[in-house]
Amino acid sequence: MSTASPTGAPVPGQLTFVAPRRAKPARHLADLTMAERRAAVAELGEKPFRADQLSRHYFEKLNGDPELMTDLPAAAREKFATALFPRLLTSVREMTTDGGTTRKTLWRLFDGALVESVLMRYTDRTTMCVSSQAGCGMNCPFCATGQAGLTRNMTTAEIVEQVVAGARALGAGEVPGGPGRVGNVVFMGMGEPLANYRAVIGAVRRMVEPVPHGLGISARGVTVSTVGLVPAIGKLADEGLPVTLALSLHAPDDELRDTLVPINTRWKVAEVLEAAWGYAAKTGRRVSIEYALIKDINDQEWRADLLGRLIRNRLVHVNLIPLNPTPGSKWTASRPEDERAFVRRLEFHGVPVTVRDTRGREIDGACGQLAAAE
């Protein structure tokens, strides 16, 4: 590992696996398993069934303020507020586009760190795109988040709170289209989720546990996107959580991928694809291959062919993402005719492929644009 530049921004190719040690936010109900919630409530001198009440308020009614939990004794409410419901996220700015159906929120964490989440409402579903780290250590040169380096890992509750905030806004009818619920969560905001493994798994568990113990979102509706931390992909496959794995491949050959996704200098294309097939075999879930099409960089037909040969006949789906512009990057999205040719080559190999409808470009809320600047 090379050393950081004096500004704190990573030098090209530098990888940061271990987040700087920072003070952690106070414990929140959403950090805890059901058993831990009961224990925490007992420690406060309250009956364990209060944990069920608190869970119902938070995960079912999306109420995170004990003052409003009027079925609890007033003295207990105060205790719970201090011990289990610290304020974790403060909204600094909301930006909307697509007639209000795409909404990016800039959040300030307790220590001043900034992260962003994006709510995307479609006709048939609503997806929350959440951050798992403040910043990111993976340093992909086409991604705005990667350019600022890693500030710190987020906690389970800080991740869950982003989903709860979105669910609250939807439930309250603040998003055009009438009241709704969050059916999908994608870990495609800031950060590398598998580099913050424990907190992310905790957050996934809170999301998929049935109401009232958790948010009751189907595991199939949760997507964990990764640059390809091979050992962590193996661990994820063993969790018994059938979430969708998205692999940010972006190049089928090591020479180019070494520069586009620097983690490739650790784990090569062949190794990361092996891990993805292992994930598919264990979970039965189709793996999603993410490929940002960058003009004249990775969009040649021969690369489409190479990719097609590597992944044909596998439980896989390719998501092509027209590159979103980021500050200081000279790269742009592929020409439409090159994009079409790329799709055709993959289809020739029988590989299912779609071009992602990127949302939120106008508000710097699309893939790779989250920089969390004030």
Q: What is the rounded (10 degree) CA torsion for 15, 20, 24, 30?
A: 10
Applying CB under 6 A, the span of 12-20, 81-89, 138-146, 272-280 interacting with ligand SAH comes to 138-146
User: What's the closest the beta carbon of residue 7 comes to ligand SAH, in angstroms?
Assistant: 21
Instruction: Note whether 323 binds ligand SAH by CB under 6 A.
Output: yes
Contacts to ligand SAH from residues 246-305, by CB under 6 A: 248, 290, 292
Applying CB under 6 A, the span of 105-113, 140-148, 208-216, 251-259 interacting with ligand SAH comes to 140-148
Is residue 290 part of the annotated active site? The answer reads: no
The residue within the footprint of ligand SAH, chosen from 126, 127, 225, 334 (CB under 6 A), is 225
Six token digits for residue 227: 């640059």
**Phi–psi pair at 115, nearest 5 degrees:** -140, 170
DSSP state, 284? -
Dist. CA 371–CA 327, nearest whole Å: 10
Q: Are 324 and 369 in contact (CB under 8 A)?
A: yes
Six token digits for residue 72: 């609890």
User: What's the closest the beta carbon of residue 260 comes to ligand SAH, in angstroms?
Assistant: 9
Q: Which of 116, 161, 192, 290 is catalytic?
A: 116
Toward ligand SAH, which CB reaches closer, 51 or 237?
A: 237
The residue within the footprint of ligand SAH, chosen from 117, 155, 226, 244 (CB under 6 A), is 226
Is residue 143 part of the annotated active site? The answer reads: no
Contacts to ligand SAH from residues 54-113, by CB under 6 A: none
- In the chain, DSSP assigns E strands to 90-97, 102-108, 114-121, 126-129, 133-135, 150-153, 184-187, 222-226, 244-248, 287-293, 316-322, 353-355
Dist. CA 134–CA 109, nearest whole Å: 9
Whose CB is nearest to ligand SAH?
368
Instruction: Note whether 142 binds ligand SAH by CB under 6 A.
Output: yes
The residue within the footprint of ligand SAH, chosen from 88, 230, 367, 371 (CB under 6 A), is 367
Applying CB under 6 A, the span of 62-70, 166-174, 265-273, 322-330 interacting with ligand SAH comes to 322-330
Total residues interacting with ligand SAH, rule: CB under 6 A: 19
Give just the sign of the alpha carbon dihedral 168, 172, 174, 179. positive
Contacts to ligand SAH from residues 178-197, by CB under 6 A: 188, 192
User: What's the closest the beta carbon of residue 116 comes to ligand SAH, in angstroms?
Assistant: 12
Give the ranges where 214-366 is alpha helix by DSSP (H).
230-237, 254-260, 269-283, 301-311, 336-348
Q: Which of 67, 136, 367, 374 is catalytic?
A: 367
Q: Which residues lie across from 320 on neighbouring strands?
A: 291, 355
The residue within the footprint of ligand SAH, chosen from 222, 326, 360, 363 (CB under 6 A), is 326
Q: Are 288 and 280 in contact (CB under 8 A)?
A: no
> Nearest CA to 228 among 243, 198, 250, 207?
250
> Nearest CA to 205 among 161, 241, 159?
241
The residue within the footprint of ligand SAH, chosen from 84, 160, 200, 227 (CB under 6 A), is 227
Residues engaged in binding ligand SAH (CB under 6 A): 136, 138, 140, 142-143, 188, 192, 225-227, 248, 290, 292, 321, 323-324, 326, 367-368
Q: Which residues are tagged catalytic?
A: 116, 367
